[in-house]
Amino acid sequence: MTDIPEAPERPRLAFRHTPGTGPTVVFLCGYASDMNGTKALALEEWAKRTGQAFLRFDYAGCGESEGEFEDQTLALWRDDALRIIDAQVTGPVVLVGSSMGGWVMLLVARARPELVKGMVGIAAAPDFTDWGFSQAEKLTMLQHGRLEQPNDYGDAPTVTTRGFWASGEANRMMIGPIAFDGPVRLLQGQRDKEVPWERAARLAELLRSDAVQTVLVKDGDHRLSRDQDLALILRSVEDVLSLCSSSS
């Protein structure tokens, strides 16, 4: 396991760093996902082929990183992203956030405005603790401390804890204008059963930057992992990198 030293009372994080030309592209995984997913690996292959600096990692409690999954919160995963960027990256970054990673992406950009030059959201799901659960599901979390739901991507159920939900509610981003001025691409499938496609348009509206484009994939699902989806992601990252270069 490639890792960085633990922060005080925090687990060690596994990561893979591809050296190359900056800005460093940093992939932020979705909820209960890991750095070995199709999109992260496609980006890494592209980075190695083009000489682009790239970083992928696992949040604490996920994948190869240490820690217990149910002990984690959104704020802790944001802090994981910040400490691995601070430890492993020299210079600016472009963030690529998938699903919940799109929420972490916005939180990191707010915390490190001098470093984050551009963003690509893939089915970005900021504030999903607010809109992604029914009142009955929220009540279950509050009363019992956790919620189990069927998992379309594996045999084990998806668990959401009261601690994660409360952290999400305390760190909502779409409650007002989002102060980011760099280039942004938001990719969203219109057949996404988890993130309503209208959320992408609302996020684009809230971002202060004028260099924001929203791409709706009519037959795209939540994962956006087909060959044509991966090609769209790579084009979007290259587009953002080009705009970052031209503005520097």
Token pair, residue 128, equals 């999903």
The residue ranges of DSSP E strands in 79-164, in sequence order, are 93-98, 116-122, 146-149, 158-161
* 99 annotated active-site: yes
Q: How many angstroms separate the Cα of 223 from the Cα of each of 40, 126, 153?
A: 12, 16, 10
Token pair, residue 67, equals 């820690």
Rounded Cα distance between 237 and 45, Å, is 13
Query: Which residue in 33, 65, 98, 99 is the catalytic one?
Result: 99
* Helix pair angle (135-144, 162-170), 10° resolution: 120
* 192 annotated active-site: yes
Query: Which residue in 167, 222, 229, 236 is the catalytic one?
Result: 222
Query: Which residue in 58, 79, 127, 192 is the catalytic one?
Result: 192
- Backbone torsion region of residue 51, taken as left when φ is above 0, otherwise alpha when ψ lies between -120 and 50, otherwise beta: left
Rounded Cα distance between 82 and 62, Å, is 16
**What are residue 24's DSSP bridge partners?**
93
Does residue 11 sit in helix, strand or coil? coil
Rounded Cα distance between 105 and 116, Å, is 9
Active site residues: 99, 192, 222
